[in-house]
Amino acid sequence: MWHPIAASHDLPFRHVFHAKLLDQEFAVWRADDGFVNIWQNRCLHRGVRLSIGINDGQELKCQYHGWRYANRTAGCTYIPAHPEKAPARTITNRIFPCVERYGLIWSALEAPSGEPAADAKLDENPLVLRGIAVRAPAPRVTALVESANLPATIFVQPTDSASCVIRGLISPAPDPAEHAKMLRHYNDVLSALRNAAEQRA
């Protein structure tokens, strides 16, 4: 099943986003050609998180010993300790499925069949609400979201067994003059929902 793991606006130029889905950490980065990479958040050399690495537009460089991994393939391209040797092709980071749609980045631990949010009948460019991290299990938060019956499309991203992120869309997007007010309104509504979920924890 596809889950949203980030918003498109979470991936500005040369940034590395730190995501988590079902207890699996991802380093998520957009290369300069627009391609979004979702990788296991771990350098194959010494296990340091790649989410603190450097996105140079074509490659992601680990901060620890400078191993570099290529956009798209996640193959290691350079090992500074062995400057004259090409890294073996088997040195390739684990890649997770990725679709960018409706202003969100979608992923899964195993490649799902079908499209993200296939049943939701969404406009291609909805208004993306601020993601709200919640320290309560996804099923409890989902139940609260459903009972709130909001005029918005809400997805609950399970980060691990005890926490989740509420990601909402307003589809179709309202008039741009209304965006700021609406973003603030839904931030307040979803934050109150978060507080309710966390108090029951």
Partner 1 sequence: MTLYDYALSADGYKVRLLLGMLGIPHTTHFVELYPGRENHAAWFRNISPLGEVPVLKDDNMILRESHAILTYLAASYDTRQCWYPTSDPALLGAITQWLGFAHRLGETAGVARLHDSLFVTTDIDAARAGAHRLLRMLDEHLWFAEQSGQNWLCPAGHPTIADLAAFPPVILSEEGGVSRQEYPAVRRWCDRVKRLPGFTIMPGVFPAGPGWIG
Out of 20, 42, 68, 167, which residue is the one contacting partner 1 (CB under 8 A)?
Answer: 20
Give the nearest distance from C-beta 1 to partner 1 in angstroms: 22
Report if residue 133 touches partner 1, rule: CB under 8 A.
yes
Count CA within 13 A, CB hemisphere, residue 180. Answer: 1
* Nearer residue to partner 1 within complex by CB, 145 or 190: 190
Residues 28, 6 contacting (CB under 8 angstroms) = yes
Draw the binding track, 32-71, toward partner 1 (x: CB under 8 A; -: no contact): --------------------x-xxx----x-x--------
Using alpha carbons, select from 137, 23, 13 the residue that is nearest to residue 5: 23
Q: Which two tokens stand for residue 67?
A: 């191993």
Give the nearest distance from C-beta 89 to partner 1 in angstroms: 26
- For residue 164, the surrounding DSSP H or E stretch is strand 163-170
* Nearer residue to partner 1 within complex by CB, 16 or 98: 16
Report if residue 29 touches partner 1, rule: CB under 8 A.
no
Using alpha carbons, select from 29, 78, 92 the residue that is nearest to residue 55: 29
Give the nearest distance from C-beta 31 to partner 1 in angstroms: 12
Report if residue 125 touches partner 1, rule: CB under 8 A.
no
> How far, in Å, CA of 158 to CA of 142, rounded?
10
* Nearer residue to partner 1 within complex by CB, 153 or 159: 159
> Which residue shows structure tokens 């029951």?
200
- For residue 146, the surrounding DSSP H or E stretch is helix 138-148
> How far, in Å, CA of 90 to CA of 92, rounded?
6
Chain residues that interact with partner 1, rule: CB under 8 A: 6, 9-10, 12-15, 17-18, 20, 25, 52, 54-56, 61, 63, 130-131, 133, 163, 165, 180, 183-184, 187, 191
